[in-house]
Structure 1
Amino acid sequence: MRRGTIEQVTSRPASAQHLQDLARLRRVRDRIDREYAQPLDVEALARGVNMSAGHLSRQFRLAYGESPYSYLMTRRIERAMALLRRGDLSVTEVCFAVGCSSLGTFSTRFTELVGVPPSVYRREAEHATAGMPSCVVKQVTRPIRNREASAPEPQLT
């Protein structure tokens, strides 16, 4: 009977664990996408997939290039952009509709991601996308923050 090397034996469980972690991270990301308007925090997200908050945060950042909180805020800002383009809600109403509890934090984060304050975006959005199909508007106005993490460099030992 031929036996594998220690590296082969020990790498199998690590690979299985890594795949399990990736599946859990996808569930967390899907939950954020679905429930962005609900009060979500890293501890609650971690409990939902049986991980510690610290492990979830580290693994999420490795996989997606940003923290779970940053990803959540990006989803909220994307939705806020759509609501502000409609023009029938105030900035404060939009802030609360997307799940933010602080207008100041919402405005600061919106400005960081979009480049202009929400009130300016609301005012200018009416004219900027006039005549565009909605599917094009969605792509043109999406924040440029959503990205995958770069692949880790191979480690030579």
Structure 2
Amino acid sequence: MTPALFRSACHAIPLTRPPSILRMSGRRTHGRHGAERYRLDRFWCLNLFQGEGELSIDGDVFPFHHGYAGITWPDADLVYTFRKPTVKTWAHFIPETEPDGRAVDIPVMQDLGREFEPLRAELQRVSSLYRAQPERAVARLWDILWQLVPEQPSGREAGGNWRHPIVARAMDEIDMHLAETIEVEALAGELGVSQTHLNRLFKAAVETTVGDYIRGRRMETALHLLHHTTMSIKQIAWQVGIPDAQHFNKAVRRQFGQPPSALRTNPDEKPVR
């Protein structure tokens, strides 16, 4: 079994929108002139380390080794102590803060293992790209930052709400096979639970049965396709797994209080649910 790679404590960072790049680096060697002490006044810094030492952030110490990635934020007292000459590939950037304060957790320091060199090479390319195509460089840096955010554990949503792993897997299966016939009993069997237990888990998680959840997803998707595509109503019916036109019309009318044709011609009118 491959041992888990090191990850330190995390710090919240807004990443729902692309950041602004202030400056990109080449490869700079540090540690030849003792410790480095400074503050960053308004921007964040991503560092990829090829060396060894410690980073103190407001007194909290984070060791780093070759192959580590580190993040620092504005207005923090930073002290870098290097045990040997260390190359840092870095980027200075400003995340765009959301009005509602949404953010994700990113490790302050983490071992990237085999992913380090590809990510370091990508950050180096971003630095070169920034001079000629800054918008493209921003998109690449944004992607790199998201790669450093740990994936949500099974059952954990981006907003931090916990959802049973079996429910999360069932929802993924339903979305992937929405255009097909979905038998709840067969779905439960694939997940290794009884139909009764799966319904009980759904009731606890989303306050509805699996069957009702499937019907709701079909109707949500149908409404989206009616409002935002030029697919025919027949095509949409197939896309949401209700190929019988009469059945589809009845299902839409029952859910939204209007037939599909009315929802398509009046997309701004709020349907009755």
TM (norm. structure 1) is: 0.60
* Match of residue 169 from structure 2: 27
C-alpha separation between the residues in 2 aligned to 1:67 and 1:86? 28
* Match of residue 42 from structure 1: 184
User: Residue 87 of structure 1: CA displacement?
Assistant: 5.2
Mapping of 1:8-157 within 5 angstroms?
Answer: 22-86=164-228, 88-125=230-267, 128=268
User: Residue 42 of structure 1: CA displacement?
Assistant: 0.2
Equivalent pairs counted in the alignment come to 111
Larger radius of gyration: 2
For the 8 Å contact 2:178–2:239, the answer to whether it is kept is: no
C-alpha separation between the residues in 1 aligned to 2:229 and 2:196? 39
Q: 1:63 to 1:101 in 2, by over 3 A?
A: same
2:166 is paired with a residue whose SS is: helix
More strand by share: 2
For the 8 Å contact 1:87–1:122, the answer to whether it is kept is: no
- Where in structure 1 are there 5+ consecutive unaligned residues? 1-20, 130-139, 145-157
- Where in structure 2 are there 5+ consecutive unaligned residues? 1-162
Deviating beyond 4 angstroms after TM superposition, the runs of 4 or more aligned structure 1 residues are: none
CA RMSD, 1 decimal: 2.5
Identity of aligned residues (%): 29
Task: Write the letter of the residue equivalent to 1:109.
Answer: A
Higher relative contact order (CA 8 A, sep 6+): 1
